[in-house]
Amino acid sequence: MPDPVQAGPVVLFENIHPVADVVFDAAGFSIERHAAALEIADLHAALGPARLAGIRSRTKMNKAAFDAAPSLLALGCFCIGTNQVDLDVAAARGIPVFNGPFGNTRSVAELTLASIIMLMRGIPMRSSAARRGEWQKSATNSHEVRAKNLGIVGYGNIGSQLSVLASALGMHVYFYDTEPKLAHGNARACASLDELLEISDVVTLHVPSTEQTRNIMDAAAIAKMKKGAILINQARGDLVDIDALAGALERGDLIGAAVDVFPKEPASKDEAFVSPLQKFSNIILTPHIGGSTLEAQQAIGEDVSGKLARYVALGATKGAVNVPEIEPGQVKPGRTRLLSFHSNAPGFLSRLNDAVSASGANIAAQHLETRGELGYVAADLEGDIPSGFIDHVRALDGSIRARLVR
């Protein structure tokens, strides 16, 4: 494992689950914790000495933030999304960014399933009425979920797990994905989004935010849904045209909706949440809590901290979202591992190997991967490494970042 002085500190923001401390403690890192996202000046000051940093969704890692962290080796997003990070800036500096794409899968799927049941029974509206002293004991617009059509847009980790849970309740599951996916149980794929919208009693979104998916549920798409259907968005805030959804609810085209993510969300608990959806009683509004369970946060804490520790100790980038992925394994006794991020251009590997040869060391194993304009190589060296060798590698034409681990 790395020298703790060289590896630390790890600076963690936004109340990351304490299970991460166990991993970092075992690796010999010092840990600095901040319970919330910090104001820009405080964030930059905290990042100054950081060798590793961990954030969640509120901390924005832009160019200025990376400029403030000259010693940063890697960044961990202890969440699913990485939209809060300028991934290109990080890659250009040889800084891998890791996230936890699977840790909250069950939590989001359960919230979606609960929302489906509550909306199909008209619970939000009846609950509000009861608090006002009204006794709405009626079966109007109240249904079982059994035998209803559930349309899942995006059949990835969350969508496919929701598919299994919904099927167990007797729902007929349909899904649409831009890539071919193996159906779970009795789920059936739709050839187009329009087909899914037209047949589904409930439509739920489980796709990332991309140029293709932003406003995927605009006024035209919502108009294609069945009269009296339900729309659920617990994925990304820019997938749904909120004004179009409000209009559909106002007209009674949709019987209900559940929204956990919004185009503009409060920066903190002290900022007011404002949305045109607040006036409706047949809707479930939640404050971006799809993955906010202790179980999910623990799973993500273990996952991301483990990736960060493996990167520092071994140079492993498996699971990184912005750099070439390699898994070079343990460093064998007697060997030194050279890790180099570099421009993906002809000649660099030759220059690197020439530098190793000139040092008198022997290359016992080598792993190279490229991604776009970036290359990443791990070379296990045998023999004594002369003083100044790593400085020579860093000075090579095309070198971005280089280090040694033993």
Residues designated catalytic: 236, 265, 288
Say how far apart CA 302 and CA 103 lie, in whole Å.
Answer: 9
Q: CA 164 → CA 157, 180, 183, 285, 325, distances in Å?
A: 11, 18, 10, 25, 31
Residues 6+ apart with CB under 8 A from 266: 272, 273
Cβ(242)–Cβ(262) below 8 Å:
yes
